Amino acid sequence: MPSPQRAAVAETPAVSKPVSAMPKGMITLFAFCCGAIVANLYYAQPVISLIAPDIGMSPFLSSLIVSLTQIGYAIGLFFLVPLGDILENRRLMMATVSVCILSLAGAAMATSSNVFLLLSLLIGFSSVAVQIIVPLAAHLAPEASRGRVVGGIMSGLLLGILLARPMSSFIAGHFGWRAVFATAAVMMAGILAVFAVRMPVRQPQHQAGYGALLRSLGTLMLRFPVLRQRAFYQACMFASFSLFWTAAPLELSRTYGFSQGQIALFCLAGAVGAIAAPIGGRLADAGHTLAATRWALAGAALSYAPALFGNAWGFLGLALTGILLDFCVQMNMVLGQRDIYGLDAASRGRLNALYMTSIFIGGAVGSSVASSLYGHGGWMWIALVGAGFPLLALARQVAVPAR
């Protein structure tokens, strides 16, 4: 006989709600799985200089490794994540993680540049399992604590993003770059086992063909103004986030002479921002979404204030910017998820896909202009544009203050 928790999740959320609060152990499990899976997107970034010469990859092709991983993730967000609204969630996640295991293992053994690039695309595509987990958690959580639950899980996701690069640098420095992908494959095998044993079953009762499912994405975006607003806010925030973390290593190496190892340690500073996720969730649960959103947007812009003092604060100013910016970005992310998951329970997978795709576009914009801005105007230009993105979102929020 299924447990009460599993039975509740298997029913249509519109007619049946979870009977009790989501256990802390389950929240921790979801957070760990999210962090471990999303880290796959970032392992290659600090070790590209080791990968390229070993497999005969040209500098131009090596620059595509990160881009193709991100492109694969975007494709998965749009074409795979919506399936969470019509397919049994645990089985879908297990299939996706299985592809991820094979892709990571293949990358660890690759000797051809073209094969490695194809596998990079697949690694990104299959890592979207994390965006199936988060809506599932929203289904499991009661309305009164949904923000807290999502916030706790998102803190694990942020830690995965921020710890992936230093972890990759450490492993590659001691065992070689292939060990990075081999270790990740083993970790994903462990995640697959956890899914099989511990992940709740949820069979959506929404009936639709795959084509109709994809066509409904445009309908949902037009139907819900809150979705459009929250997607715009977070796209601006993530543009600032990506701009900062793309340019910060350049500033640290050129201005302060940091080594790659020291830069990796600096990246750990942003992990402090993970505490914002549960705080944002609790504020949303308590009905303070509007005020918390404005504080998050304003705080992200103010985080660049140390740049106004030039080098007076040194790299400590960069660290303060990174900590406060990550805190505000993470808080606003959870506030937005809390809002959109409450719009339509039967469409949470597609709503999440639209929200995350918009965020990814914002991040791509921020990272794409970072090198050019830094080359022309140094860190001051980075700070001005980085502050401008959240200020743009704040202006939109004040003009249309629904959320």
pLDDT single digits (tens) 350-390: 898 899 888 888 887 887 788 788 888 999 999 999 999 99
CA pair distance 86, 346, nearest whole angstrom: 9
Q: Evaluate if residue 2 carries a pLDDT over 50.
A: no
Q: Evaluate if residue 16 carries a pLDDT over 50.
A: no
CA pair distance 111, 101, nearest whole angstrom: 18
Please choose, from the candidates 50, 34, 43, the residue with its C-alpha nearest in 3D space to the C-alpha of residue 66. Answer: 43
All structural domains of the chain with their residue ranges = 21-207, 210-403
Q: What totals of helices (H) and strands (E) does the chain contain, helices first?
A: 17, 0
Mean pLDDT, rounded, for 166-190? 92
Mean pLDDT, rounded, for 86-93? 92
Average pLDDT of every residue of the chain? 85
Q: Which CATH class is domain 210-403?
A: mainly alpha
The reply to whether 210-403 shares the fold of 21-207 is yes
Q: Evaluate if residue 12 carries a pLDDT over 70.
A: no
User: Percent of the chain beyond pLDDT 70?
Assistant: 91
* Contact between 362 and 388 (Cβ < 8 Å): no
Output the pLDDT for position 256.
Answer: 86
What single-letter DSSP state applies at residue 291?
Answer: H
Which is higher by pLDDT, 96 or 152? Answer: 96
For residue range 205-232, list pLDDT tens digits in order: 777 788 888 888 889 999 999 999 999 9
Which is higher by pLDDT, 181 or 27? Answer: 181
Please choose, from the candidates 229, 196, 391, 215, the residue with its C-alpha nearest in 3D space to the C-alpha of residue 303. Answer: 391
Enter the tokens of residue 265.
């340690």
Please choose, from the candidates 306, 301, 293, 322, the residue with its C-alpha nearest in 3D space to the C-alpha of residue 402. Answer: 293
The topology (CATH level 3) of 21-207 is Growth Hormone; Chain: A; (1.20.1250)
Residue 274's CB is within 10 A of a number of other CB atoms, namely 25
